[in-house]
Amino acid sequence: MTKLSDWLQTTAARQNVTHDLTQTIATIAAACAEIAAILRTAPIEGLSGLAGATNVQGEAQKQLDVVSNDIFIKHLQQNPDISILVSEELNQALHFERETGAGRYAVACDPLDGSSNLDVNVTVGSIFSVLEAPSGVRDVELLQPGVRQLAAGYAAYGNSTSLVLTFGKSVAVFTLDAAGEFILTKDDVTIPSASAEYAINAARERFWDAATLAYVDESVAGETGPAGKRYNMRWVGSMVADIHRILMRGGIFLYPLDSETLAKGGRLRLLYEANPMALLVEAAGGKATTGLGRILEVMPANIHQRVPVILGSAEEVERIERHYAVLKAG
């Protein structure tokens, strides 16, 4: 059995990853393990329902959004290599007190993703991304395209807790054991290039653009339409859960730009939702696009920027990209 700490050591050597960076991942993993433990008994502790505040996105915070954010802060500030935290739950980037130039990394995170599923005991997660950003940098220097991520991943709190990690070259999955250790359970994950499963919030159909409508129409037509095969639709409503399924067995996830999210630029957040998932999906051989270009090349304008997200099995992403090309040309 390979523990996360041992895997980090060998991967550091194999993939040319620095010790500081692997320690940053170990710190994030410790935060996720603590969140997993709290989620297990949250209803008994009265940790359900709303916190009574709204975050910078204008969304009502759940108590567990706030608790998870506090856990990330607690762990990250103990690691001197981490200088900055960008979080869905914090209006501004949080700069930890470090000597100027010390602390090499910024962590961007969605401390609890899918929080509408919390009170119904459905899988939620934490998403994270690591960027180069020594202490003393101005917030504008955090606005880096996703190709510059040094590492990314998520924890999925489901019937087991999975930690899924990439340093950009390959994807590994760990499972939390009863003693609180992450154990390697799958290495070198690859997303099948062909699949027959799509994930989209179908109740938003009246807001969709022509490319999304065409893609879904073809999928619904199944073997009687141009796609030539039958599809299934799955939508958990936690990005982490939907993408975990896609990483494990293929499929496509779509939260496209639509007429209702147009003014905001999309629904999901670039720095701590789209970019880390795009890095994972590409490292596993899949594709990740806004419809018009690679997610990882989008230059953020602010830390909470939103972006359209389409990612998963290469053949499916290419099928909707063809519809976007027609839309753009026409």
Ligand X SMILES: O=P(O)(O)OC[C@H]1O[C@](O)(COP(=O)(O)O)[C@@H](O)[C@@H]1O
Residues marked as binding for substrate?
113-116, 201
Binding residues: 88, 110, 112-116, 201, 273
Closest CB to ligand X among residues 116, 160:
116
Rounded distance between C-alpha atoms, residue 28 and residue 107, angstroms: 9
* Cβ–Cβ < 8 Å for 55, 88: yes
Contacts of ligand X in 57-76 (CB under 6 A): 59
C-alpha angle with apex 91: 133 to 47, nearest 5 degrees? 110
Secondary structure string (H, E, C) spanning 149-209: CCEEEEEEECCCEEEEEECCCCEEEEEECCCCCEEEEECCCCCCCCCCEEECCHHHHHHCC
**Stretch near Mg ion under the rule CB under 5 A, chosen from 39-47, 83-91, 132-140, 186-194:** 83-91
The least distance separating Mg ion from the CB of residue 110, rounded to whole angstroms, comes to 4
Q: Does 113 bind Mg ion (CB under 5 A)?
A: yes
Closest CB to Mg ion among residues 174, 255:
255
**Stretch near ligand X under the rule CB under 6 A, chosen from 99-107, 108-116, 132-140, 205-213:** 108-116
Closest CB to ligand X among residues 81, 197:
197
The least distance separating Mg ion from the CB of residue 152, rounded to whole angstroms, comes to 14
Q: Which does 289 bind (CB under 5 to 8 A by kind): ligand X, Mg ion, none?
A: none
Question: Which residue of 28, 90, 113, 133 would you call a contact of ligand X, by CB under 6 A?
Answer: 113
Distance, CA of 102 to chain centre: 27
Binding residues for Mg(2+): 88, 110, 112-113, 273
Rounded distance between C-alpha atoms, residue 273 and residue 271, angstroms: 6
Question: Which residue of 237, 292, 305, 315 would you call a contact of ligand X, by CB under 6 A?
Answer: 237
Q: Does 282 bind Mg ion (CB under 5 A)?
A: no
The least distance separating ligand X from the CB of residue 240, rounded to whole angstroms, comes to 7
Closest CB to ligand X among residues 137, 240:
240
Q: How far is CA 296 from CA 188, 280, 293, in A?
A: 21, 11, 9
Closest CA to 286 of 132, 135, 166, 203: 166
Closest CA to 166 of 1, 7, 329: 7
Half-sphere exposure of 192 (CA within 13 A, CB side): 10
Please state the φ and ψ torsions of residue 2, each to the nearest 5 degrees: -105, 120
The least distance separating ligand X from the CB of residue 326, rounded to whole angstroms, comes to 26
Q: Does 110 bind ligand X (CB under 6 A)?
A: yes
Closest CB to Mg ion among residues 112, 191:
112
Question: Which residue of 48, 160, 201, 232 would you call a contact of ligand X, by CB under 6 A?
Answer: 201
Exposed, middle or buried by CB within 10 Å (0-12, 13-18, 19+), for 206? exposed
Q: Does 282 bind ligand X (CB under 6 A)?
A: no
* Cβ–Cβ < 8 Å for 106, 134: no
**Stretch near Mg ion under the rule CB under 5 A, chosen from 26-34, 70-78, 107-115, 142-150:** 107-115
Q: Does 88 bind Mg ion (CB under 5 A)?
A: yes
Work out the angle between the directed axes of helices 4-14 and 19-41 (0-180°, nearest 10): 150
Closest CA to 172 of 183, 186, 159, 156: 186
Question: Which residue of 79, 115, 135, 166 would you call a contact of ligand X, by CB under 6 A?
Answer: 115
Closest CA to 290 of 330, 258, 263: 258
Q: Does 238 bind ligand X (CB under 6 A)?
A: yes
Binding region for ligand X (CB under 6 A)? 59, 88, 110, 113-116, 201, 237-239
Binding region for Mg ion (CB under 5 A)? 88, 110, 112-113
